[in-house]
């Protein structure tokens, strides 16, 4: 697809229905069980709070609803930092129990040995550079990366090192569009952008941001393609009103018993 300049579409899913929705459209190429799961589904304040077992639980549900899209899951914070052996075991669990096909890891050249190790095990690895939400504290918040020369050069050399280590693709998050275009041009592997301009090989958005169900902070790079929150809230309002007014259920929504049988019983 990169060679043919066909943009790659990636969308997150966190459960069976969202996975079915991604699978129902042939234009979606990759479903990502992102660790944004932490905030948008589980109510945590950061992805660092998400455990491996929670990720496996949700990945399994997504896998049950996934047909054609390539299925990728994030390795949660803490599941690939402890030791090589622990990383390998956690990766195998995500593949076997979480039933995903590939794993995504946040980090630059400092994780290249992990990327190489998993790749050699036959696990396709998607890299992720730029803004790294799992490091939001040490990065002093969720801020655009690669704005100064040193940071931009760092992202370029990280991307090259991760490609060299065997990554099959790389997410570029919240970096200037010029830098994303440059990285895309200089890599053999496809780049998937989020807040990285239009010149990456593909794009990814978080389900709730895209659908307009997320009422929290909206990053500059989010476009709401739907307004499901308004739709959902109005349905709740109508349902609650109908119950309060006893207009729900009506006769067509209720069961009845044969009149003579009922007279016989109540006689
Ligand atoms: O967790 C996530 O949803 C992600 C994408 C936004 C790239 O990592
Ligand atoms: Na993520």
CA–CA distance, 225 with 131 (Å, rounded to integer): 23
Ligand 1 touching residue 35 (CB < 6 A): yes
Q: Whose CA is nearest to atom 8 of ligand 1?
A: 34
Yes or no: say if 152 and 146 are a contact pair by the CB < 8 Å rule. yes
Q: Which segments of the chain belong to CATH 3.20.20.60?
A: 8-226
pLDDT digits (tens, 9 = 90+) for 212-265: 998 788 899 999 999 999 999 999 999 999 999 999 999 999 999 999 999 999
CATH 3.20.20.60 fits 8-226, yes or no: yes
Give pLDDT, residue 215.
79
User: Cβ(171) to ligand 1 under 6 A?
Assistant: yes
Question: What is the distance in A from the centroid of ligand 2 to the CA of 105?
Answer: 8
Extract the residue ranges of the chain whose pLDDT is less than 50: none
CA–centroid distance, residue 133 to ligand 1 (Å):
9
C-beta of 118 in contact with ligand 1 (< 6 A):
no
Nearest CA to ligand 1 atom 4: 34
Task: Decide whether any atom of ligand 1 lies within 6 Å of the 194 Cβ.
Answer: yes
**What was the pLDDT predicted at 143?**
96
| Structure confidence at residue 214 (pLDDT) | 83
ipTM: 0.99
Secondary structure (DSSP) of the chain: -TTTT-PEEEEE--SHHHHHHHHT-TT--EEEE-TTHHHHTT--SSGGG--HHHHHHHHHHHHHH-SSSEEEEEPPTTSSSS-HHHHHHHHHHHHHTT--SEEEEEBSGGGHHHHHHHHHTT--EEEEEES-GGGTTTTTSS-----SHHHHHHHHHHHHHHHHTT-SEEEEES--HHHHHHHHHH-SSPEEEESS-S-SSEEEE-HHHHHT---S---TT------HHHHHHHHHHHHHHHHHTT-SS-GGGS----HHHHHHHH-
CA–centroid distance, 185 to ligand 2, in Å, is: 24
In 201-265 the beta strands, taken as DSSP E runs, fall at: 202-205
> Which residue is closest in CA terms to ligand 1's atom 2?
34
Judge if the beta carbon of residue 206 lies within 6 A of ligand 1: yes
Distance in Å, CA 161 to ligand 2 centroid: 20
Ligand 2 centroid distance, CA of 133 (Å): 7
Determine the pLDDT at residue 216: 80
| pLDDT at 54 (0 to 100) | 98
Q: Supply 142's token pair.
A: 């969720």
Looking at the CA of residue 173, tell me the nearest atom of ligand 1: 7
- Report the distance separating Cα 19 and Cα 67, nearest Å: 9
Atom of ligand 1 nearest to the CA of 171: 7
33: Cβ below 6 Å to ligand 1? no
Q: Which ligand 1 atom sits closest to the C-alpha of 106? A: 8
CA 177 centroid distance within chain: 21
Residues designated catalytic: 173
Q: Provide the token pair at 40.
A: 């948008």
Q: State how beta strands 30-33 and 8-12 pair.
A: parallel
């Amino acid at each position: 697809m990169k060679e043919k300049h066909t943009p790659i579409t990636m969308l997150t899913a966190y459960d069976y229905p969202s996975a079915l929705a991604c699978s129902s459209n042939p234009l979606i190429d990759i479903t990502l069980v992102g660790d944004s799961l932490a905030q948008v589904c589980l109510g945590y304040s950061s992805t660092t709070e998400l455990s491996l077992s929670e990720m496996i639980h949700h990945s399994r549900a997504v896998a049950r609803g996934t047909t054609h899209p390539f299925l990728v899951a994030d390795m949660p914070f803490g599941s690939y930092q402890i030791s090589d052996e622990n990383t390998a075991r956690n990766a195998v669990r995500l593949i076997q129990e979480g039933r995903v096909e590939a794993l995504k890891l946040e980090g630059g050249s400092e994780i290249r040995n992990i990327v190489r190790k998993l790749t050699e095990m036959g696990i396709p690895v998607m890299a992720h550079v730029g803004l790294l939400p799992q490091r939001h504290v040490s990065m002093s918040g969720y801020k655009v990366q690669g704005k100064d020369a040193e940071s931009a050069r760092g992202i370029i050399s990280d991307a090259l090192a991760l490609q060299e280590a065997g990554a099959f693709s790389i997410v570029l998050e919240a970096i200037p569009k010029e830098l994303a275009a440059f990285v895309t041009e200089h890599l053999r592997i496809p780049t998937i952008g989020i807040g990285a301009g239009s010149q990456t090989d593909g794009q990814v958005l978080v389900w709730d941001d895209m659908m307009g169900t997320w009422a929290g902070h909206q990053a500059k790079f989010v476009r709401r393609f739907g307004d499901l929150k308004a739709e959902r809230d109005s349905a709740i309002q109508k349902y609650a009103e109908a119950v309060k007014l006893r207009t729900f259920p009506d006769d067509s929504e209720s069961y009845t018993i044969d009149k003579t049988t009922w007279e016989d019983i109540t006689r």
